[in-house]
Amino acid sequence: MLKMKCPYCGKQKIVPIIYGYPGNDLFIKEENKEIRLGGSVSEKKKPQKYCLSCEKPFDKIHPDSLLVQKCCFFIGGYVGTSYNLEITQLKNSFNISCQKSNDRYENFIEIRNINIELSQWACIWKNILKCYVYDWNEKYVDNNIIDGTNWELHIESISELNIEENLEILNSSGENQYPVYYNKLLRIFSKLIGEKIA
Q: What range defines the domain where residue 144 resides?
A: 65-193
Q: Is residue 198 part of a domain?
A: no
Q: How confident is the model at residue 100 (pLDDT cuts 50, 70, 90)?
A: very high
Same domain assignment for residues 43 and 131:
no
pLDDT tens-place string over residues 70-88: 999 999 987 789 999 999 9
d(CA 184, CA 177): 15
Whether residue 8 lies inside any domain: the answer is: no
Do 50 and 69 reside in the same domain of the chain?
A: no
Q: Are residues 43 and 20 in the same domain?
A: yes
Q: Is the domain of 87 the same as that of 162? A: yes
Provide the whole-model pTM: 0.86
pLDDT in tens, 103-134: 766 788 999 999 999 999 999 999 999 999 99
CATH number at residue 137: 3.30.1560
Q: Are residues 153 and 171 in the same domain?
A: yes
Whether residue 151 sits in one domain with residue 53? no
Residues 159 and 100 both lie in one domain = yes
Please give the average per-residue pLDDT across 53-65, as a whole number: 87
Question: 30 pLDDT exceeds 90?
Answer: yes
Q: How many CB atoms lie within 10 A of CB 48?
A: 15
Compute the distance between CA of residue 27 and CA of residue 31 in angstroms, rounded to an integer.
Answer: 6
The amino acid sitting at 25 is D
Shared-domain flag, residues 45 and 71: no
pLDDT at residue 43 in the model = 65
At residue 42, the pLDDT reads: 63
List pLDDT tens digits, range 137-195. Answer: 999 999 898 878 999 999 999 866 555 567 889 999 999 999 999 999 999 999 999 99
The answer to whether position 4 is within a domain reads no
**Number of domains comprising the chain:** 2
Q: Are 142 and 177 in contact (CB under 8 A)?
A: yes
Q: Does residue 89 share a domain with residue 146?
A: yes
Give the burial class of 136: count Cβ atoms within 10 A of its Cβ; 0-12 exposed, 13-18 middle, 19 or more buried.
Answer: buried
pLDDT, position 35 = 92
